[in-house]
Amino acid sequence: MNPAPNLALVGPMGAGKSAVGRLLAERLGLRFADLDHEVEDRSGAGIATIFECEGEAGFRARESAALQALLADDGLALATGGGAVLDADNRRLLRERCFVVHLHLDVSAQLQRLARDRSRPLLQRPDREQALQELASIRGPLYDEVADLRFDTGNDNATHAAMALAELLAVKWQRGNIAA
């Protein structure tokens, strides 16, 4: 049982963390936050610009600071960035302050969903499938480590996934498996 005061969505890029999270927050009466947007708002620059100027390490430091600030409050549905779990302190904080749902999506589905997306710095290379495979091999075990629940979004659009996940969470709340 995880009586956490917040709900966090983790998972690979393209899994639907932002879209599902926004709909889920509305359905569950939680305040929604997107960690990537929070980093952009706090820095006054887009993620690609932060990567260009400060590298991934600079971005990750900003991400950790934003995560700490957001999780100081309760009643939040949080869409994390795909790499937020790379930092051990972030994983600890997520486990302590959130019921964590791993939105799972396999690499072939990621490729389809991200086919036209050119905004993601870690995919700015010729072999996107290899990049996604490499990220999955590193991050997949970390998503599983931090997650209280794994939910596959591969065949669902965001609306359907949010509805199904909200129903699943409601059942768990009723059974006392997570805090209401």
User: What would the pLDDT profile of 27-56 be if each residue is shown by its tens digit?
Assistant: 989 999 999 999 999 999 998 899 899 998
What is the predicted pLDDT for the residue at 135? 87
C-alpha distances out from residue 61 to 8, 113, 122, 176, Å? 19, 28, 17, 35
Q: Mark the binding-site residues for substrate, compressed into ranges.
A: 36, 60, 82, 139
Residues 6+ apart with CB under 8 A from 168: 149, 151
The pTM is what? 0.87
In words, the CATH class of domain 6-174 is alpha beta
What is the predicted pLDDT for the residue at 121? 58
Top-confidence residue, 1 or 29: 29
For residues 109 and 16, give the distance between their C-alpha atoms in angstroms, rounded to a whole number: 11
Residue of 53, 59, 44, 168 whose CA lies nearest to 103? 168
For residues 180 and 170, give the distance between their C-alpha atoms in angstroms, rounded to a whole number: 8
Is a pLDDT exceeding 60 seen at residue 178? no
Percent of the residues in the chain that have a pLDDT greater than 90, as a whole number: 61
What is the predicted pLDDT for the residue at 120? 65
Q: Mark the binding-site residues, compressed into ranges.
A: 14-19, 36, 60, 82, 120, 139
Sheet containing 31-34, strands listed edge to edge, beginning at the edge strand earlier in sequence:
31-34, 76-79, 6-10, 98-104, 149-152
User: What would the pLDDT profile of 107-132 be if each residue is shown by its tens digit?
Assistant: 888 777 666 766 665 566 778 788 88
Q: Can you say whether residue 121 is alpha, beta or left, with left for phi > 0 and alpha for psi between -120 and 50 degrees?
A: alpha
Q: Mark the binding-site residues for ATP, compressed into ranges.
A: 14-19, 120
Q: Mark the binding-site residues for Mg(2+), compressed into ranges.
A: 18
pLDDT grade, residue 156 (50/70/90)? confident
